[in-house]
Amino acid sequence: MSGAWRRKTWWMGGATLALLLAYNGVCLMHARAMTTFVDGGERTGQPEQLGIGAKLRATLFGVTVPRPINARSPADVGLAYETVTWSNGRGGTLEAWDIPAPSPRGAVLVFHGYAASKDQLLETARLLHEERWSVVMVDFEGSGGSSGDTVTIGHREALDVMATLDWARGRGIERPILYGFSMGAAAILRAVGELGAEPAAIVVEAPYDRLLSTVQHRFELMGLPAFPSAELLVFWGGVLHGYDGFDNEPVRWAAGVRAPTLVVAGSEDTRARPEEARAVAAAAGARLLLLPGHGHVQSAKVAPALWRREVAAFIRSHG
């Protein structure tokens, strides 16, 4: 091999390595931006709603996700409540709204979705309260009144579900209903299917089958190829937060669920697609309730009559 060819080969190899390192660096930046909330700033819009310039900025510099706050309280939907806190078991605290019902049928513990806080599910809480359920609405670590500023999109949040169940037992609540939306659904599925929680029943709305799937969907909604960026984001997100991001698989956790389960999903959901909800329901041996014409939304908010007829009836039958 001539000296010139050897130098060219080394140069090409070095350039390729530099590009790979730079690409991984960009993916690491994106993973940190999606899983570490910031103080202030304007949240990056939904992928499918971004213009070309906004898509370019998001691609080059990552998204902005401000730390979720509670802009409303139960009082805004006519509910009396008490703000309570307890340890998350990892050196931090969780905050919740404890909403008692007169002569309650039982208790429902409610868990919100990604980049949101407990006020996301106030409409659900109001309908549950109308059905005479006491409701506990919980902020995951990193959101609302709880401590921290990071999120693992369902994996570590399962530990917050377990800590909430410990707190509930201390209040004499032995077998509550668990109710979660999106990331909250994933956290419940891990808590019950892998960590051994034993609720009376669970309702999981808009569950995704795998973290990798939901990250891939974000790229697809932006009109960008998902491979290999989605895989690298999941990998680096796990590295940043000390777990295997590819282990974030609600469909696998669902296979370990033994509690009665209702899965609710929008028929037009582009973030956690209906086929993912079907897979989760099949794995858990659960009933699937589809919301015709709806996307990634809470059933109590967009279809209250259907919620009263189907979801409330399921909860009553297992409470």
- Beta carbons within 8 Å of 263's beta carbon, 6+ residues apart: 204, 205, 207, 277, 280, 281, 284, 286, 287, 288, 289
Does residue 4 carry a pLDDT above 80? no
Give the CATH class of 74-210+248-318. alpha beta
Does residue 36 carry a pLDDT above 90? yes
Give the DSSP H or E segment for 290: strand 287-291
Single-letter amino acid code for the residue at 180? G
Question: How much is the pLDDT for 1?
Answer: 53
Three-state DSSP state, 52: helix
Does residue 44 carry a pLDDT above 70? yes
CB contact at 8 A, 39 and 251: no
For residues 22-31, average pLDDT: 94
Measure the CA–CA gap between 204 and 207, rounded to whole angstroms. 6
Does residue 109 carry a pLDDT above 80? yes
Question: How much is the pLDDT for 18?
Answer: 87
Three-state DSSP state, 260: coil
Question: How much is the pLDDT for 55?
Answer: 66
Single-letter amino acid code for the residue at 56? L
What backbone phi and psi angles, to 5 degrees, belong to 293?
80, 5
Beta strand 133-138 with 93-99 is: antiparallel
Q: Could you tell me which of 317, 283, 318 has the C-alpha nearest to residue 210?
A: 283
- The model's confidence at residue 31, banded by pLDDT at 50, 70 and 90, is very high
Residues of the chain with CATH 3.40.50.1820: 74-210+248-318
- The model's confidence at residue 172, banded by pLDDT at 50, 70 and 90, is very high
Between 192 and 16, name the one with better pLDDT: 192
Q: Is 78 left (phi over 0), alpha (psi -120 to 50) or beta?
A: left
Question: How much is the pLDDT for 157?
Answer: 98
Does residue 52 carry a pLDDT above 70? yes
